Amino acid sequence: MLWFIVRRSLGFLASLFLVSIVIFGMIHFAPGDPLDLIFEGGGRTPEAEAAMRARYHLDKPIIVQYWYWLSDMVTGDFGRSIAYGQKVSTLILSHGSTTLALVLYTMVIIVTVGMVFGLVSARYPGIVDRSLLVVTGVATATPPFVAAVILIGVFALGLGWFPTFGEGDGLLDQLHHMTLPAVALAVAYVGMIARVTRMSVMDELARPHVEVARLRGVGEATILRRHVLRNAIPPIMTIIATRLGSLIGGTTVVETAFGISGLGSLLVRSVARRDFPVIQAIGLLIVAVFAVALILVDILHARMDPRLTLSKARQR
């Protein structure tokens, strides 16, 4: 296990390094001058421009700029935002905690609601199953921005049960504010997870070991819990991990629609303003999170199913 983690971590660092080159290159070779934002109002004297270029190392060759960025990152300095002048690490920390809360809340909804729907679907074939299939079908087809508009219209403006924007202060207030955004983000994935759970559970329920357990007189609930779920969970986790990328992408839409200042909305604003230090940092962060999630899923897989060695974990 330890050797596995070491090997994967090295691979992770290597891919992060390669990705950093790609992200840096893409942003710097994209058309447009990052200083346009600072001088949007005017006042672009040669002296002022020179001072700003020096401040953001834009007067150095691109390799040198990349080296500055890389070496600063190792010490935790992600540079300064061109728009705000504030340290990127400060920006990311303050916005990151919000997005983390949103994503965790969303995952809880996806996993619980999705799995419940899936289990019920598999357990009660017939009208229940068919109705749930329609519901999950509609859910899967609903992108986050559509869900957001409907939820705001009905629950925030219409019924007034939830606030229309912001992330709130304090645990309960945050839960209150983030409910609609989390639901909007979760809708499409709930459908997906429900269907995967349903198939996985149906698969397991048909297996010989379940038959044997039933014959032995073990209760249905215990069968579900101990014999079925354990085997059904790995594909669910894999789906969640591989979909994590698009889930993170969905935060950009949901955070913007609900006025939540998280990494998603920060990324959107930074791209619009060509604030490349922020774009680079968030880009790298997303890739890192994704990679770590995949590693964690592999480890969890191996723990849940002793038949698998870690090298075979994701082939299942």
Partner 1 sequence: MYLPKGRRRLIAGSVALAMLAAGCSADNEDSPTDPSEDGAFQITESLPPASGPVESVTWTVSSEPDQLDPARRARNIPSETVRAAICESLWRITPDRKLEPALAVSVDSPDPTTFVYQLREGVRFNDGTEMTADDVVASLSRHLDPEVGSVVADAFKNVESIEATGPLEVTVTLSKPDYLFNQQMAGEAGRVESAAFLHEAGADYGSPDFGLNCTGPFKFEHWEVGNSITLVRNDDYWDDDNPPLAERFTFIFPTDGSARINALVAGEIDGGYNVPEGASRTLLAADSGNLYFGPGTQAYSMIANQSGILGDIRVRRAISLALDRQGAITAGFDGFGSVARVPIGQYAWAALGLDRAEEIYQSLPDTAVRDVEQARELIAEAGVEGSEIVIAYTPQVPQMVALANATFAAVEEIGLVPVMLEMERPDFSRLTASPTAKDEAGVDLWPIALRQPLADPLETFSIWHTDSVYNHGDYSNPGYDALVEQALAEPDDQARAALTVEMAEIIAEDLPWIPISVTAYTLFLNNRLAGAPATIEGLGPWAGRIGTA
Residues that bind partner 1 (CB under 8 A): 32-33, 36-49, 51, 55, 83-86, 90-91, 94-95, 133-134, 137-138, 141-142, 146, 149-150, 152-154, 156-158, 160, 163-167, 255-261, 265-266, 268-269, 272-274
Q: Identify which of 303, 291, 179, 174 has the alpha carbon closest to the alpha carbon of residue 244.
A: 291
Smallest distance from partner 1 to CB 76, Å: 17
Smallest distance from partner 1 to CB 277, Å: 14
CA dihedral (10, 13, 18, 23) in degrees, to 10, reads 160
Which C-beta is closer to partner 1: that of 91 or that of 291? 91
Which C-beta is closer to partner 1: that of 105 or that of 258? 258
Smallest distance from partner 1 to CB 1, Å: 37
CA atoms within 13 A on the CB side of 250: 25
Which C-beta is closer to partner 1: that of 38 or that of 122? 38
Residue 174: Cβ-neighbour burial (10 angstroms; 0-12, 13-18, 19+): middle
Smallest distance from partner 1 to CB 48, Å: 3
Which C-beta is closer to partner 1: that of 163 or that of 234? 163
Which C-beta is closer to partner 1: that of 125 or that of 137? 137
Q: How far is CA 228 from CA 119, 215, 282, 298, in A?
A: 10, 15, 39, 20
Smallest distance from partner 1 to CB 303, Å: 31
Which C-beta is closer to partner 1: that of 5 or that of 156? 156
Report the C-alpha gap between 7 and 11 in whole angstroms: 6
- Cβ-proximal residues to 257 (8 Å cutoff; 6+ apart), any chain: 144, 145, 148, 149, 152, 181, 184
Q: How far is CA 283 from CA 33, 182, 266, 271, in A?
A: 19, 22, 11, 11
Smallest distance from partner 1 to CB 262, Å: 8
Which C-beta is closer to partner 1: that of 68 or that of 84? 84
CA atoms within 13 A on the CB side of 154: 8
Amino acid at 201: V
Which C-beta is closer to partner 1: that of 33 or that of 211? 33
Smallest distance from partner 1 to CB 160, Å: 7
Contact (CB, 8 A) for 161 and 113: no
Give the phi and the psi of residue 86 in degrees, each rounded to 5. Answer: -90, 155
Smallest distance from partner 1 to CB 165, Å: 4
Name the β-bridge partners of 80. Answer: 87
CA dihedral (55, 56, 58, 61) in degrees, to 10, reads 100
Report the C-alpha gap between 113 and 94 in whole angstroms: 29
